[in-house]
Structure 1
């Protein structure tokens, strides 16, 4: 019988910055830690510069939640100044001190969790091959992960990878096609805190009042970092089409880089609204928010216009659980997530705008299906699945040690 108190798990992050994968993984770590396992976190970088935003570990919401839950968090304190296409785990070779610090932390863990494949370059240098590694995969485009995919395939070939957690069927299928053996992969769908993410008329009224949005005005929320895969220009072109037909509507843009300090975003807005600049006055650039449950509760629609890379987008799930109707392009697992709850659209501005209008009109009609789906998207279910997998990996590793 495995004693939960004996299971020690170290998660390795490339860095703390705004994004669904880090929020999801941190939620899982907190849930597992509270269930009796002993979790800790190592971050390769102490700060990152992404999406036109400097993001320090100590300022990050996930860091705050982990440490508040008693999960120790340490960092190698790398501080790169990178372009969005660069791999955070690459660049200068790891120093002897960094490798030694990683090795010491890993020696105190029974299992290592690699948040995405990027930390595997470090783990391959610092950690003995017999230490089981579980890789948590959160995208559906391994071909766009650069050398990190090579590190994953090398770690699989060396027998370092005990399992891969895939957050979506599309993730499993894509990584299988990229060469990861299907037998290593386990799909554990994303889940959220249903007590936090729920319809709430008080939150709805308060958030709308704080932004001076009339009670009956349609509200569309776009929660995404400013990255090419999110296809922000498409969203903005759809916003222009929608605001022309809906004179009371408001659009809320949340996420890293979604601020007036980002020249790239301002240029995108200027291009999309070139012939109707006054319409852009009904966009609210909110940046990174720590109260997304309030933002979603205030919305009628949660929208996603991504072109690639998505697997099981957390924004759609969180928004749905707060009563917002999801409208998304066909990427990753968006089709099964949205089915029966909202609308899938082609990557066309007019089609997206029309879907927003229909979603607002049918929000009351779709509310019961959103309510019925809540247990499917429960964080409790997700954490239990992670615990079962980690227990099995630990048992298998212990059995191999006993045989030798």
Structure 2
């Protein structure tokens, strides 16, 4: 019998596109593969058009990291656009999926969306662990129904929740609590750390003085992120902080995004002096450097968040987190940052307070590092996968082996 170090694990992604869930999941796969498990990834889509950005699988940083580490990544080759309804799966697509699942001991589904594929009749039955990264199951379209169907069918062996708010929300939505396991997000502490050289390099590249206060907003252009609230907060703060700068990065955070350009024009109007201190960086592959350059990492989301990765990564690089009270954000930043109401002036005031308190919070941020360790997260995933597969092989979940 294989131990956890020899498990064959298939992860199924809806697609490769910018977002914290894919970053976390891909990092988990790297860590588990380093420990001796055999991993591969099947992506339903080969490219997606969302956040006003065309995102090809081969261009994605997670794809490149996974394949660079020797993990096989394949795709059914579909293309998806925002608002487009899913087409039925074809015979060749199901045949590819059947071959991939037949070669696995256990399947990881990155969120519930891939269950639409895994629930198709005729596929080899394998225990499925669903990785949940949001706190709003009611906003996931038909994916929640697919999750419930897979649970009723006996296919889902466990659900990994990245936050307590995720577990609570899915339990309230009807998912059996016994299936819900909380494994908090973790990050690579060697990569995400304060770094004076990176701080200076990014600021120099942006033309930002070394002593100027900087707020970074790392988010994709999506309604849940409440970009208009962030921009109104930025205007209020920049008007007060004459030396301040705001950095926005993520999918859609570019001048080429007509929607974002319209929001900027609406908020800043003709005040070019203030708007000139807003830097749009788009998708960055060096977020550890961007965060190191910041004094504050900001989040203004209205819903959906569970354990926002930007807060953890930013904190570990020395930025003080300031967030609205969504998901587990308040508990994540407790004693390390500030929680605000969704009010632009209150948020702007909190950013200034965070800049002023940054030196005083350095000790607490440093002491919190092990709490957010990638090593802890990966060990918890390894233990859960081991238990799931052993339960099947010991006959506790009949009908899923073979």
- Provide the TM-score with structure 2 as the length reference: 0.97
Equivalent-residue separation in structure 2 for 1:403 and 1:182 (angstroms): 21
How do 1:169-184 residues align onto structure 2 when only pairs under 5 Å count?
Answer: 169-184=164-179
Aligned to 1:34: 34
Aligned to 1:340: 335
Aligned to 1:68: 68
Check conservation: 1:48, 1:56, Cα contact below 8 A: yes
Aligned to 1:78: 78
Aligned to 2:44: 44
Give the 3 Å change call, closer, same or farther, for CA 249–185 of structure 1 in structure 2: same
Give the 3 Å change call, closer, same or farther, for CA 403–44 of structure 1 in structure 2: closer
The CA deviation at 1:69 is 1.0
Equivalent-residue separation in structure 2 for 1:340 and 1:271 (angstroms): 35
Deviation >3 Å, runs of 4+: 126-130, 401-404
The CA deviation at 1:65 is 0.5
Cα deviation, 1:208-243, whole Å, max 9, x if unaligned, reads 111111010000000000000000000000000000
Equivalent-residue separation in structure 2 for 1:216 and 1:93 (angstroms): 56
Equivalent-residue separation in structure 1 for 2:18 and 2:118 (angstroms): 23
Equivalent-residue separation in structure 1 for 2:259 and 2:122 (angstroms): 40
Aligned to 1:242: 237
Equivalent-residue separation in structure 2 for 1:272 and 1:241 (angstroms): 10
Aligned to 1:393: 388
The yes-or-no answer on 1:268 pairing with 2:263 is: yes
The CA deviation at 1:280 is 0.8
Aligned to 2:213: 218
The CA deviation at 1:92 is 1.1
- Provide the TM-score with structure 1 as the length reference: 0.97
Give the 3 Å change call, closer, same or farther, for CA 403–208 of structure 1 in structure 2: closer
The yes-or-no answer on 1:187 pairing with 2:182 is: yes
SS at match of 1:79: strand
Q: How many residues align?
A: 399
The CA deviation at 1:403 is 7.0
Gaps of 5+ in 1: none
Check conservation: 1:220, 1:252, Cα contact below 8 A: yes
Give the 3 Å change call, closer, same or farther, for CA 401–238 of structure 1 in structure 2: closer
The CA deviation at 1:317 is 0.1
Decide which of 318, 341, 363 is 1:323's aligned counterpart: 318
Check conservation: 2:165, 2:306, Cα contact below 8 A: yes
Gaps of 5+ in 2: none
The CA deviation at 1:375 is 0.3
Aligned to 1:161: 156
Decide which of 132, 142, 161 is 2:127's aligned counterpart: 132
Check conservation: 2:17, 2:57, Cα contact below 8 A: yes
Check conservation: 1:100, 1:126, Cα contact below 8 A: no
The yes-or-no answer on 1:297 pairing with 2:279 is: no
The CA deviation at 1:91 is 1.5
- Coordinate RMSD, CA, aligned: 1.4
Give the 3 Å change call, closer, same or farther, for CA 128–396 of structure 1 in structure 2: farther
Check conservation: 2:5, 2:35, Cα contact below 8 A: no
Cα deviation, 1:132-166, whole Å, max 9, x if unaligned, reads 00000000000000000110011111111000000
SS at match of 1:311: coil
SS at match of 1:163: strand
SS at match of 2:391: helix
Worse-matched range after superposition: 207-216 or 272-281: 272-281
Decide which of 346, 371, 378 is 1:383's aligned counterpart: 378
Give the 3 Å change call, closer, same or farther, for CA 26–11 of structure 1 in structure 2: same
Equivalent-residue separation in structure 2 for 1:232 and 1:204 (angstroms): 25
Equivalent-residue separation in structure 1 for 2:99 and 2:164 (angstroms): 35
Check conservation: 1:102, 1:126, Cα contact below 8 A: no
The CA deviation at 1:401 is 7.9
